[in-house]
Amino acid sequence: MTSGVLVGSQATIKRATEIVANYGASLSPFEAWLTSRGLKTLAVRMERQCDNASQIASFLRDHPAVRRVYYPSPTDTFFFSRQKQGAMVSFVLADETKIYDFYRALDWIKLAPSLAGVETSVSHPVTTSHRAFSEEQRKETGITMGLVRLSVGIEAVQDIQIALDAALGK
């Protein structure tokens, strides 16, 4: 099931409307009801995910097996006071040759090609979202072998930290 909201220019909206009319993109009544029901708790889930992500980013910044973390912090010049920064955290392993060991050791955190569920999951951009990029294109955009994308879920933040710490120790 896929649903969402499209926001864009009039030309974008017009083109999307044509695609929907030609190919169909309507949800079944049950899927529409599930989507509507899920929207009722979206704010609560996002608050938890964002709080967890902030704590996980801090944890990863201090971890010796992590070279760099991509997540806004209060010291960043573009950080806006008290705004949530999202549930996605990216980081680079200090030893990029251990990337597959890291993924194998994750235990309950799943490697997924698509992110953003309520469960914590990870993806490997080099082999998923950016696999069609040339080595040069990946280098230009900072997509290295050791880059991990982490979609932080609503689990207890300590459980997420324990799982990441165990995998980073492998």
CATH number at residue 79: 3.90.1150.10
State residue 49's pLDDT score: 93
pLDDT at residue 137 tops 80: yes
State residue 139's pLDDT score: 86
State residue 39's pLDDT score: 87
Nearest-CA neighbor of 122 among 159, 163, 169? Answer: 163
Structural domain includes residue 114? yes
Indicate whether 31 and 73 sit together in one domain.
no
Structural domain includes residue 2? no
Indicate whether 58 and 69 sit together in one domain.
yes
Indicate whether 47 and 27 sit together in one domain.
no
Indicate whether 163 and 140 sit together in one domain.
yes
pLDDT at residue 82 tops 60: no
pLDDT at residue 130 tops 90: no
Indicate whether 57 and 88 sit together in one domain.
yes
**Mean pLDDT within 101-126:** 89
Q: Identify the domain containing residue 26 by its residue range.
A: 10-39
Q: What's the number of domains the chain is made of?
A: 2
Indicate whether 63 and 132 sit together in one domain.
yes
pLDDT at residue 143 tops 70: yes
Q: Which of 78-82, 96-100, 136-140, 141-145 has the highest mean pLDDT?
A: 96-100
Structural domain includes residue 127? yes
Structural domain includes residue 46? yes
Tell me which of 6 and 153 has the higher pLDDT.
Answer: 153
Indicate whether 95 and 19 sit together in one domain.
no
State residue 150's pLDDT score: 96
Indicate whether 55 and 108 sit together in one domain.
yes
Indicate whether 100 and 144 sit together in one domain.
yes
Indicate whether 35 and 46 sit together in one domain.
no
Residue 128: count of CB within 10 angstroms of its CB: 14
State residue 6's pLDDT score: 77
Indicate whether 20 and 48 sit together in one domain.
no
State residue 24's pLDDT score: 75
Indicate whether 90 and 152 sit together in one domain.
yes
Counting residues of the chain whose pLDDT is more than 70, the rounded percentage is: 92
**Mean pLDDT within 145-165:** 96
State residue 23's pLDDT score: 82
